[in-house]
Structure 1
């Protein structure tokens, strides 16, 4: 199986390096293209055997599975170049959450999937969200999920839930990093603890907490109960957090959904222009 990537930016590069480091893909089974050629060439230098494609079309015609790792509004221009070359037996995978699989199926003849990855895949952790178009067979789905399983936990979700699920798996690490950064900064300011030490301690805490959730049999509420002592420091601190954060996360997710709706509307306008006429 030859896997192609169009787009080697932040998330495209995460997927490429993780798949190669895990051994899920051999370098000679990977073909990459990027608008800025130097980025693709840097990957090939790090991983001898990886082939750099000179165009989106060359990438599209040369692979079995094609990951389209470009921004939502860049999807339509790329499809202008590759749609007519996609074969029915190929799988096109978009990682852009506002791009619906049904929209892509009206433009390309191949099978279509959507996968929302996470930065956590760099450490072969985290969930990859999987959604499928109507042409994908169970065998197609399993083949793609076997590939993703080397770097993540593939989770099938309904496409209507993509924004909320992405807020947890894809954007969530940024939320957690921001929150923990504020905690580390406050600890450093109040105690004189060196900032680097505070960040290292906080990082170990986040790692340990995650393991308690996924391996230790504890729930989010259970972790809080285990640490809280009635009348103790943690109980008082959590009370302050609840008072100050009331409604905050609903407001945050309202913003992510608003931006998603804006992008989805813009993408839909562009993709509608490119939809194929029904056969017959």
Structure 2
């Protein structure tokens, strides 16, 4: 990717995660990155974190100077982006991480067909992102490979049909927040049982990390791994019975479903 320049329109949490991830993975130098944000302090903060990253005076400046333009804005701000950049992105690869905004609307608003829609998540900041992406008709196979390489540098990347991206948003896009809540609750349980807070949180976080690694490394159904921990009449099955009684499984399923529906609403 030597020589590729990439600009972020929007310098919020997700742009920050991706920028840090690309640089940490040595996929792009900070000097090849540019950012702009309606709140200048946001772009300036990112530049202070990644010396060499340039702050652009406007979105138009990014559109004219970068090979790849990442739209890292809230869905509600996309109409303003259309007004400012519509027709000014010829020849550029446009990558949108705005939840819920369809490829059809992006192509219409930006007046270009070379668009890739991405749903990343914030663990990209530590190289553990889980992302999915879909290509518009005008995006080439090479464009898809480039986006896949960028996302793979900060975690895992899956090319999917666009119709699946709302569900991806509800699961992996919003999912880190669900897991943080679970870690916090596990830590609270440890504290209630007498553990110091720092130790309880460290044990809870490492337990979630280790369990996730087991699922990925072993390739077994999570239910099989769960059963391997739950000895007859033991502590784990007692805890699992309480989780089932409190509806934890149903609550998590409902959370993914609600976030998926909200993603679809944002695109309307």
**TM-score band, normalised by the shorter chain?**
over 0.9
Helix, strand or coil at the partner of 1:255: helix
Greater displacement, 233-242 / 203-212 = 233-242
Residue 215 of structure 1: aligned partner: 217
Q: For the structure 1 residues 42 and 126, does the alpha-carbon distance in structure 2 shift closer, same or farther, using more than 3 Å as the test?
A: closer
| Residue deviations 1:183-221 (CA, integer Å, cap 9, x gap) | 2102211x2211111001111111111111112344311
Quick one: distance in 1 between partners of 2:261 and 2:172?
18
Greater displacement, 37-46 / 200-209 = 37-46
Greater displacement, 41-50 / 71-80 = 41-50
* TM-score, normalised relative to structure 1: 0.89
Residue 203 of structure 1: aligned partner: 205
Residue 55 of structure 1: aligned partner: 58
Moved over 3 A (4+): none
Contact 1:86 1:110 in 2 (8 A): no
Residue 25 of structure 1: aligned partner: 28
**Given the alignment of the two structures, is residue 153 of structure 1 paired with residue 156 of structure 2, yes or no?**
yes
Contact 2:171 2:256 in 1 (8 A): no
| Residue deviations 1:134-185 (CA, integer Å, cap 9, x gap) | 0011111112211222112110112111122222212111111112211210
Helix, strand or coil at the partner of 1:215: helix
Helix, strand or coil at the partner of 2:260: helix
Count of residue pairs brought into register by the alignment:
263
Quick one: distance in 2 between partners of 1:180 and 1:31?
35
* TM-score, normalised relative to structure 2: 0.93
Quick one: distance in 2 between partners of 1:77 and 1:26?
29
Quick one: distance in 2 between partners of 1:218 and 1:164?
23
Helix, strand or coil at the partner of 2:263: helix
Residue 229 of structure 1: aligned partner: 231
Residue 187 of structure 2: aligned partner: 184
Helix, strand or coil at the partner of 2:223: helix
Unaligned 5+ segments in structure 1 are 266-280
Contact 1:131 1:156 in 2 (8 A): yes
Helix, strand or coil at the partner of 1:240: helix
Quick one: distance in 1 between partners of 2:13 and 2:52?
21
Quick one: distance in 1 between partners of 2:88 and 2:196?
57
Residue 107 of structure 2: aligned partner: 105
Helix, strand or coil at the partner of 1:247: helix
Quick one: distance in 1 between partners of 2:83 and 2:76?
12
Contact 1:33 1:40 in 2 (8 A): yes
Greater displacement, 8-17 / 178-187 = 178-187
